[in-house]
């Protein structure tokens, strides 16, 4: 297996984002490209990442390869990538060779590991509400909620979308109508801000984000560019209070 | 009660400065504007802040309102202010509604609280020395003293002003004559650098600072702009060692 | 003793670098300039620093002076130096007077101290390999090694130079041939990355670094400019494992 990326900076950033939620992942490489699907240790969030074949300047793979890696190690290596670096990855026995070619050629070898636990299937979900908004507005609203609370509710109606947070004493509310693209029914669901704050780092990738959710239902957050697809599925916080 | 500020960034910064010395304050709002007077828990420093009516683009108040707020919460909300934001505040029952209007409208509600302790009157002080100098020179000298000591002495004479610090081993001294405006008699007083370092953050507001003090006497530090008045009164450190 | 430096910023940075390895030093001043030679408390690294007479705009010294100083204190004072400051130092009894002249004159007095331990002579070393390379390439390679290991090996041959690191699981290797100036025999030696990371801060001084080493032999790292000479001698890590 051999692959080459001409602009590895974004790949490096995505690995950094994922590494805040999971410690180890299986990276799959086949003729269609590279993909990661992983669940955080608390079973609250799922990460889905795809880099298609045409994102690579070189992609040689005979059969599907599954590379178990420690994300802390991989992240530390990928941080050494600079603007203008070319990144190559090769599997050699139980090692992943990572070559960063700048003016100087840097060659890292990472031990491949056995990732514990079975791979979870991607759940089949039916969302009643889909909101498309700018990444900036979304990540601002998450930060605003975080000032007053540790969870955040998304409230949709056919022509309206509200992000709000309620702490013990203080609260926040922001209403979106013209600024967002709404295909929604009435639905309310609450999510952990701890996770959302990690996920909004995906706003670096693209200036649009798509939110899919339902009533007390999982959220699917999508950050897509023509070449990259990064999504998060987050379980709702369903509480018995009021 | 309703008020509106078109350039709330400086208000946000002042609340940040005050929050380093006190946890809770009473904010008074009346037809003359908004004011805060507070004493730090150790009873060493007093903070006096006034934002007059003409600093507001809107100020509606029937009778004097006293708003007890937690500064940590208020500071966290005001940090969400951006260049170009408009800030509105309204009292609604026992809540303070804070609306930050950017491209998006953000609405925060903060619980009003009962601030413990009686309000202290502003002491009547007679200073023998008044020094006007640039904010930069003053804050530099405080930082310089901090390199060698934990307190700082101001020494004035009719034509001379010295800032000096003496630690156990090392010392610092800076003399000002032409660079400052002096109306002074001979006086020496020593103050805590821990407090002065918090107070010099007021130098963000204006490029001039006025120091008023006497012999082993409180210091009054004034940072004034045409629209804002921020002062600190700091008790002297009177020691029996020579 | 009196001396004056017109561009003290670099002197300030060098004292900062040295202060990460030793707490107290003897600064020698004579007609030839200022010099420091010091050994770190673990006896693993030696620092050699020289500022020749012509680096000073003023240098008055009757006999050799040896100034024992705490580097933490000296570093804190020198951090107060700004672009454009002029630095003067005078010995007055058991104090070192440091005057920083900006728009304002700042006068610090530091207590001179007795530095413990005898002065160690500079060891006489015979290196078989000498590599000259850019500071950037060298410090990058050290940072790369640090991603996977806590030590770093230098491997030279007459036409080749390799920097590599091996951790328990992961490894790194970078090969230099055209990019460096090599006068070397076959030699391999391993050094602590903890120390090398402190030493590469010397790359601020100059864009070239010279590495001198041998087989399981000390390293001498040289950062030289026309007016400044800063070198480090670092003991090798000789291990019995293969």
- C111 touches B at CB < 8 Å: yes
Shortest CA gap B219–chain C (Å): 23
CB contact set of B101 (below 8 Å; sequence gap of 6+): B85, B86, B87, B88
Same domain, A42 and A85: yes
> Rounded to whole angstroms, how far apart are CA atoms C106 and C108?
7
Search chain B and give the residue with CA nearest A173: B107
Same domain, B91 and B182: no
Domain span holding position C47: 2-111
Please give the pLDDT value at position A117: 80
Tell me, yes or no, whether B72 lies in a domain: yes
| Residue ranges of chain B whose pLDDT lies below 70 | 240-242
Phi, psi of B200 (to 5 degrees): -70, -10
pLDDT tens sequence across B115-142: 988 888 999 999 999 999 999 999 999 9
> What is the rounded average pLDDT for all residues in chain C?
95
Tell me, yes or no, whether C77 lies in a domain: yes
Same domain, C57 and C157: no
Last residue of a domain, one of B111, B138, B161: B111
Q: By C-alpha distance, which of B219, B208, B237, B222 is closest to B127?
A: B219
Handedness of CA C136, C140, C142, C143 (dihedral sign): positive
Q: Which residues of A touch C143 (CB under 8 A)?
A: 80
Same domain, C133 and C106: no
Contact B158, C95 (CB under 8 A): no
> Rounded to whole angstroms, how far apart are CA atoms A229 and A209?
11
Q: Which residues of B touch A143 (CB under 8 A)?
A: 80
Same domain, A24 and A105: yes
> Rounded to whole angstroms, how far apart are CA atoms A119 and A220?
19
Same domain, C105 and C149: no
Residue A27 has pLDDT above 90, yes or no: yes
Q: What is the ipTM of this complex?
A: 0.92
CB contact under 8 A, C108 and B147: yes
Question: For residue A185, how many C-alpha atoms fall within 13 Å in the half-sphere facing its CB?
Answer: 6
Burial per residue of A190-210, b for 16 or more beta-carbon CB atoms within 10 angstroms, e otherwise? bbbbebbbbbbbbbebbebbb
Question: For residue A25, how many C-alpha atoms fall within 13 Å in the half-sphere facing its CB?
Answer: 28
Shortest CA gap B156–chain C (Å): 17
Please give the pLDDT value at position C52: 96
Q: By C-alpha distance, which of B29, B48, B21, B36 is closest to B224?
A: B48
Same domain, B53 and B19: yes
> Rounded to whole angstroms, how far apart are CA atoms B178 and B161?
10
> Rounded to whole angstroms, how far apart are CA atoms A160 and C80?
56
**How many H-runs (helices) and E-runs (strands) does chain A carry?**
4, 18
Total domains in the fold of chain A: 2
Q: How confident is the model at residue A135 (pLDDT cuts 50, 70, 90)?
A: very high
Residue B168 burial (CB < 10 Å; 0-12/13-18/19+)?
A: exposed
Tell me, yes or no, whether C61 lies in a domain: yes
CB contact set of B136 (below 8 Å; sequence gap of 6+): B203, B207
Tell me, yes or no, whether A216 lies in a domain: no
- The encoded tokens of residue B159 equal 């034509």
Partner-chain residue, chosen from B76, B77, B106, that has the shortest CB–CB distance to A174: B106
- Residue B199 DSSP one-character state: H
> Rounded to whole angstroms, how far apart are CA atoms B39 and C208?
57
CATH of the domain at A23: 3.70.10.10
Tell me, yes or no, whether A117 lies in a domain: no
Mutate to test the interface with B, among C99, C104, C109, C111 (most CBs of B within 10 A): C104
Q: Which residues of A touch C141 (CB under 8 A)?
A: 104, 106
Same domain, C49 and C144: no
Contact B205, B230 (CB under 8 A): yes
Tell me, yes or no, whether B221 lies in a domain: no
What DSSP string runs through C131-145?
A: EEEEHHHHHHHHHHH
CATH of the domain at C166: 3.10.150.10
pLDDT tens sequence across C54-112: 999 999 999 999 999 999 999 999 999 999 999 999 999 999 999 999 989 999 999 99
């Amino acid at each position: 297996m051999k692959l080459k990326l001409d602009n590895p900076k974004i790949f490096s950033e995505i690995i950094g984002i994922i590494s805040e939620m999971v410690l180890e992942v299986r990276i799959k490489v086949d003729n269609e490209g590279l993909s990661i699907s992983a669940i955080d240790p608390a079973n609250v969030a799922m990460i889905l990442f795809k880099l298609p074949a045409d994102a690579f300047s070189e992609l040689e793979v005979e059969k599907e390869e599954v590379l178990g890696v420690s994300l802390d190690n991989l992240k530390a290596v990928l941080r050494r990538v600079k603007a203008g670096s070319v990144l190559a990855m090769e599997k050699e026995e139980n090692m992943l060779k990572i070559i960063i070619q700048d003016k100087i050629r840097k060659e890292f070898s990472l031990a491949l590991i056995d990732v514990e636990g079975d791979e979870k299937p991607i759940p089949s979900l039916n969302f009643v509400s889909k909101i498309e908004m700018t990444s900036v507005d979304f990540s601002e609203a998450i930060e605003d909620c975080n000032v007053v609370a540790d969870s955040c509710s998304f409230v949709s109606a056919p022509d309206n979308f509200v992000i709000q947070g309620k702490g013990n004493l203080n609260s926040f509310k922001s209403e979106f109508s013209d600024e967002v693209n709404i295909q929604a029914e009435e639905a309310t669901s609450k999510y952990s801000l701890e996770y959302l704050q990690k996920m909004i780092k995906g706003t670096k990738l693209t200036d649009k984000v798509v939110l899919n959710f339902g009533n007390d239902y999982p959220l699917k957050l999508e950050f897509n560019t023509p070449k990259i697809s990064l999504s998060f599925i987050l379980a709702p916080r369903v509480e018995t209070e009021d």
